Structures are given as structure tokens and as C-alpha cells.
């Protein structure tokens, strides 16, 4: 087996619940193995190619409090991780509680049931791997209408050996509460450094509650980033997400939303852009379990070089989930002849009286538009950039918070 699983002693192994949880993850990962082209859910993304590099878990990083924080151009409350290890957080506004996950496991036994209840490890080898190393991450508890965005930063300063960082977060939004959470993955140092970030977020949204979840994945050029967001929404709750993936050699952002009660709504939007030989995967799985639930998805990508974009989008409507609406649209722009996009939409509709649609389109940069701009003096590269920005504009516009929207826009930089 790969170095991804090591026999090392982790903090908290003496706690039976935790030891058992980790062991189940380990067993599950061993039985599933690293997905290959034959694994249906991973057939386009093929992580085994990337994982041939072999990453090893870094058990005891420095626990020193990092003096750093990342500048963001808006007022925010930051939760800061350095190399996958929780460092510190800013002073918290009313209605937010943040605890290291390990503390929750040790002292808040009532919350243990929430860990692992949403993120299925059966069909998710990386979630299983994440469970095997369950240790780092935070519990975020929202109990009011919080207006200051919470920015969760994982800042990597790459080490020479290929490290793996497992992060596990639990977010609970109480009934009638709301917040905005931004996840930001970034690095400092050699752009060619290779490491693997493996994140699992389990998110519980109460009745009439709302969570807006934004994410920017800007990892180093040869890094891997795999994320599973598992969300459950109660009656009239809202989960709205936007994810920009632009870094890493192999990246997957998977979002599974269960619309568990009537009136639950979700919006899962994403943009991706890459060059070189990268593979960027956006996978969604929306389950409508009850009537009057609604889901909307818009995913747009820009693919250059010999890179590959993957979109797998599933909408499942249970037999009793009448009067539901589920919409999905994916669009990709291919900037070169060798760029590739693989799309797999799946609609499973078992109820009558529903409104559902899905669509996918891919195209190239419009040469007429490009020439038109050049003929007015705009340089070719600049014109391309303007057209790419314009292409992604409608999906970025889905970010309600203007400050966050402008910040996300600033990541859409030079492309060829």
C-alpha cells in the first residue's frame, strides 16, 4: 500500500470513540484503495496518476502559533491554519463559536454523532483517508445572524517532502441563524512544490437558517486538492455555495447536498480555470427528499494547455419529493486544441410534478470577438483576458456579497 496510510500514533488514540472512528476510515480506505480509471465516480479524474508521487502524512507539525494571517480586502473574522494545523482565530463576533475539532471530540460528546454522519466513507476513499487521520480541523457553530464573513484560511509553506494535510471541519448553523463562510487555500514559496490537501466539511443547516459558503482554491501548481462538502438542510433552510478552483495539478471539489425537509433550497455554483496538465473536477450530488425543495447549479470553466475539466452533476428526486425544482447548467471554454472537458450529468427523477433541467455546452474563444477587440487596439492577450472574464462573469455574479465577489474576481488572472 501507499505511503498515504502510515502506522503512526495520533493524538487522542486513547479515546475509544476516536480510535474506532479512525480504524473504520483506515479499513475502508484499504478496502477501496486509490481510485483508478475503473472507479466510476473517478473515471475522468484518475487520481492514481497524481498519487504516484506518493504523499506521506506529516503527523507532528509545529504546534507553534503562527504570527501570520492572510490579507483579505474586506472586514472578516479569520480562522487561520498553517500547513494544515490550526493556529489561531480572530476575535469572534456574537453568535459564532469556534473550537478545534479534537476538543469537540474530547469534551462535547453530544456533537460526536454529527461527525461522519454526512460524509459517507463507503463510496469516498478520500473521505475514508480523512477519517483515518481525524485530528485537525475546527467546529464552527453559528447561533445568530452573523454579518461579518468568517474566512477559513489554510496556508501552506511547502516542505521538500510531499506532505499530505487532512482537514476536517464541522459547521452547524442553528435554526433561523445565518452566516457567510469563505474557505481560502493558498501557499507561499515554490510554485512547483508538490503536496496534497484533503478536506472534508460536514455542514448542518437548521430550519430557516442560511449559509453562504464561498471557496477559493489557489494551491501550488503541482499540488493536489481534494474536498468533500456534505451538507444537510432542514425546512426552509438555504445553502448557497460558490467555489473557484484555479490551482493544483489535480483538484476535485465535491458537494453533496441533502434537501431533507420541505422548503430547503440550495445553490451550488462553481468556476474553474487552469492550464498545463492539470485536471480540475467539480462533482455535485443533490438529493431532493421532500416536496417544495429547490436546487440551482451553474458551473463554468476555462481550460487551456493540455488540461482537463471534469463536471459530474447528479440530481436525485425521491418519489415523495413532488413540486420540486432542480436545474443544472455546465459550460466550458476550451482555449487550446489539446484541452479537454468530460461531463457526466445524471438525473434520477422518481416523482411526478417536478421541474427539472440540465444542460452542458463547450466552445472556444470567439475569434470574431477577439478580432473585433484587436481591431480597436486592444492587445491579443488582453483581449483574451477580457473575454475570459466576461465568460465567467455571470457565475461570479452569483456571489451576493460584493466585497467577496471582487476578491474572488481578483483571482481570475493571466491565462494563455
Partner 1 sequence: MATPLLEIEDLYAGVDGKEIIKGFNLTINAGEIHALMGPNGAGKSTLSNILCGKPGYHVTSGRILFKGQDLLKFSAEDRAREGLFLSMQYPVEIPGVSITSFLKHAVNAVRQYKGEDELDTMEFIKILRQEGKKLGLDADMIKRDVNVGFSGGEKKRLETLQMSILKPTLAILDEADSGLDIDALRVVAEGVNALHTNDNALLVITHYQRLLNYIVPDFVHIYADGKIVKTGGKELAMELEQKGYAEFVKERND
Q: How far apart are CA 237 and CA 175, in angstroms?
A: 8
Q: Specify the residue, 79 or 396, whose C-beta has the smaller distance to partner 1.
A: 396
Q: Specify the residue, 91 or 337, whose C-beta has the smaller distance to partner 1.
A: 337
Query: Hey, is 104 helix, strand or coil?
Result: helix
Task: Answer yes or no whether residue 410 interacts with partner 1 by CB under 8 A.
Answer: no
Place of cell 451576493: 400
Write each residue from 62 to 81 as x if it is in contact with partner 1 (CB under 8 A), else as -, in one continuous string.
--------------------
Element (H, E) at 382: helix 380-396
C-alpha grid cell, residue 371: 478580432
Closest CA to 203 of 182, 236, 241, 230: 230
Residues near partner 1 (CB under 8 A), total = 23
Restricted to residues 346-375, the positions that interact with partner 1 (CB under 8 A) are 366-369, 371-375
Q: How far apart are CA 289 and CA 256, in angstroms?
A: 13
C-alpha grid cell, residue 412: 481570475
Q: How far apart are CA 318 and CA 411, in angstroms?
A: 38
Q: How far apart are CA 361 and CA 378, in angstroms?
A: 28
Rounded to a whole number of angstroms, the minimum distance from the CB of residue 20 to partner 1 is 52
Count other C-beta atoms under 10 Å from residue 113's C-beta.
8
Rounded to a whole number of angstroms, the minimum distance from the CB of residue 345 to partner 1 is 24
Rounded to a whole number of angstroms, the minimum distance from the CB of residue 272 to partner 1 is 17
Task: Answer yes or no whether residue 32 interacts with partner 1 by CB under 8 A.
Answer: no
Of 60, 357, 393, 410, the residue at the interface with partner 1 (CB under 8 A) is 393
Q: Specify the residue, 97 or 381, whose C-beta has the smaller distance to partner 1.
A: 381
Q: Specify the residue, 355 or 380, whose C-beta has the smaller distance to partner 1.
A: 380
Q: Specify the residue, 210 or 388, whose C-beta has the smaller distance to partner 1.
A: 388
Task: Answer yes or no whether residue 405 interacts with partner 1 by CB under 8 A.
Answer: no
Rounded to a whole number of angstroms, the minimum distance from the CB of residue 149 to partner 1 is 26
Beta-sheet strands, E only, within 174-217: 178-187, 196-205, 210-217
Rounded to a whole number of angstroms, the minimum distance from the CB of residue 398 to partner 1 is 14
Q: Specify the residue, 17 or 371, whose C-beta has the smaller distance to partner 1.
A: 371
Alpha-carbon torsion angle 215, 220, 222, 224, nearest 10: -30
Residues in contact with partner 1 by CB under 8 A are 366-369, 371-380, 382-383, 386-387, 389-391, 393-394
Amino acid at each position: 500500500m501507499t505511503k498515504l496510510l502510515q502506522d503512526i500514533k495520533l493524538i487522542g488514540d486513547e479515546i475509544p470513540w476516536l480510535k474506532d472512528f479512525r480504524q473504520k476510515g483506515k479499513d475502508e480506505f484499504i478496502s477501496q484503495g486509490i481510485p483508478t480509471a475503473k472507479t466510476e465516480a473517478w473515471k475522468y479524474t484518475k487520481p492514481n496518476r497524481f498519487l504516484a508521487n506518493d504523499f506521506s502524512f506529516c503527523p507532528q507539525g509545529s504546534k507553534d502559533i503562527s504570527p501570520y494571517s492572510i490579507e483579505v480586502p474586506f472586514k472578516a473574522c479569520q480562522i487561520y491554519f498553517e500547513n494544515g494545523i490550526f493556529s489561531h482565530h480572530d476575535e469572534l463576533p456574537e453568535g459564532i463559536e469556534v473550537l478545534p475539532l479534537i476538543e469537540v471530540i474530547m469534551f462535547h460528546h453530544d456533537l460526536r454523532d454529527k461527525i461522519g454522519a454526512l460524509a459517507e466513507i463507503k463510496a469516498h476513499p478520500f473521505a475514508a483517508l480523512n477519517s483515518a487521520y481525524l485530528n485537525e480541523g475546527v467546529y464552527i457553530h453559528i447561533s445568530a445572524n452573523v454579518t461579518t464573513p468568517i474566512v477559513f484560511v489554510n496556508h501552506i509553506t511547502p516542505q521538500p517532502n510531499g506532505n499530505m494535510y487532512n482537514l476536517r471541519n464541522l459547521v452547524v448553523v442553528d435554526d433561523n441563524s445565518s452566516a457567510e463562510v469563505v474557505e481560502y487555500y493558498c501557499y507561499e514559496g515554490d510554485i512547483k512544490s508538490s503536496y496534497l490537501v484533503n478536506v472534508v466539511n460536514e455542514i448542518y443547516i437548521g430550519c430557516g437558517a442560511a449559509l453562504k459558503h464561498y471557496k477559493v482554491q489557489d494551491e501550488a501548481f503541482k499540488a493536489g486538492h481534494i474536498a468533500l462538502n456534505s451538507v444537510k438542510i432542514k425546512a426552509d433552510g438555504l445553502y448557497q455555495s460558490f467555489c473557484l478552483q484555479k490551482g493544483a495539478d489535480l483538484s476535485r471539489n465535491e458537494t453533496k447536498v441533502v434537501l431533507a425537509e420541505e422548503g430547503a433550497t440550495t445553490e451550488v455554483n462553481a468556476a474553474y480555470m487552469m492550464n498545463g496538465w492539470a485536471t480540475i473536477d467539480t462533482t455535485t450530488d443533490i438529493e431532493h427528499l421532500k416536496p417544495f425543495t429547490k436546487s440551482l447549479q451553474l458551473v463554468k470553466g476555462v481550460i487551456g494547455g493540455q488540461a482537463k475539466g471534469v463536471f459530474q452533476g447528479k440530481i436525485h428526486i425521491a418519489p415523495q419529493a413532488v413540486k420540486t425544482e432542480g436545474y443544472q447548467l455546465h459550460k466550458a471554454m476550451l482555449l487550446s486544441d489539446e484541452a479537454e472537458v468530460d461531463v457526466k450529468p445524471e438525473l434520477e427523477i422518481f416523482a411526478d410534478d417536478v421541474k427539472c433541467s440540465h444542460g452542458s455546452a463547450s466552445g472556444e474563444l470567439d475569434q470574431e470577438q477577439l478580432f473585433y477587440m484587436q481591431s480597436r487596439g486592444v492587445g491579443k492577450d488582453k483581449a483574451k483576458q477580457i473575454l475570459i472574464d466576461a465568460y465567467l462573469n455571470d457565475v461570479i455574479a452569483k456571489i451576493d456579497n460584493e466585497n467577496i465577489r471582487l476578491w474572488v474576481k481578483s483571482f481570475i488572472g493571466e491565462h494563455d
